Structure 1
Amino acid sequence: MKPVRTAARAMLASIFVIQGVRSLVKPDATTETASRVTDRMKPLLEKADPRIPTDARTLVRIKGASDTIAGLALATGHFTRPAAFVLAANLVPTTIAGHPFWDRSRPDAKVHQTQFLKNLGLLGGLLLAAVDTEGRPGLGYRASHAVDRSQHSIKRSQRSVKRALRTAKREAKIAAMSAATARRLPG
């Protein structure tokens, strides 16, 4: 199963690495398309932090760097879950801005629909990679089972304490009876 995961992650990541490098080297090729999203995000980015660049060209390059780094991480098996999550998050605005198939006035609406659906498939693969624990239990599972084990451990401890108290009571009773018997004996 491991070779299949490794190959699948590399195949899934390849498009992001290639497109990321292209965006870094030639950001102007996608700046106009990206500006449909970046222009809407500009007020939000400026409000969040005025130091954040808001021009489409810079944001395209930042996304390109992010896709390249996350794609390489996913392909090489390093930080695969966070890398897949970053790629999935980056894919959503790209898909919406780049493939508006719902605009039927465009002559290339069918092509955009195909590309939109391809990106939707990639998003599904990335989401699977983001939750893939490679056969090991996930964090949620481990946390819930740790709680269960702790509760069982506490119950066992409580039973042990109750047993020890009953034993101590019995022994105290026996000791008291022995002391009373010893006082009654002539001596």
Structure 2
Amino acid sequence: MKINDKAKMALSWMEEIRTNVLPVVKEGQFLGFLSDDLIYTLNTPEMHVGEFEFDSPACFVYQDKHIYDVIKVASEYGLNMVAVIDRENQYMGVVTMEDAIGAFADTLSIQSHGAVVVLSMFMTDYSLFEIARIVETENAKILSSFISNDPLDDSKIKLTLKLDQTELRHIKATLERFGYKIIDHYQEEAGVSEEQDRIGNLLRFLDI
């Protein structure tokens, strides 16, 4: 949106693209986001966009940043889109959370066939090289990994692994034989659409 546009135009665009916020730009500079809540609260559809107080002017990433940064910033500000600017602070566009999740899923091999196994351990016991060596003894490979805090024990980490095998029985047994604690696992299900499978696998992988 430009500052000379009217609020009623902003609402029309929000409805058309199904969002509750729009970025506001002045002379190529990102100013922040205008929300539909603010427009409805003031109840002045003829008001120009530039007359509003914008939200989250720091909700942006530089164009050379990784998709991790987009998701991190969106989470911090609670918005479904993040502005993108170049190193001269010129506005380039926005990345929606839908686009970010799709890109994030690709980086984690989410669409690849296989299963997910979740381990709990102390950080001092974490060695991806050692775990990969154990997994490979069962003719499997780790496609991607993800570390987060163990919700059951603050002193431990939770290691989520995406494997290239759908059968986990022997892999789980071998990991447990080497002293690793398995707290969860997910195996592929048949008959799920590609889009459902993509989203479901990502949410299971991130344990959201």
The alignment's TM-score, normalised by the length of structure 2, stands at 0.24
- Between 1 and 2, higher relative CO (CA 8 Å, sep ≥ 6) is seen in 1
More strand by share: 2
The alignment's TM-score, normalised by the length of structure 1, stands at 0.26
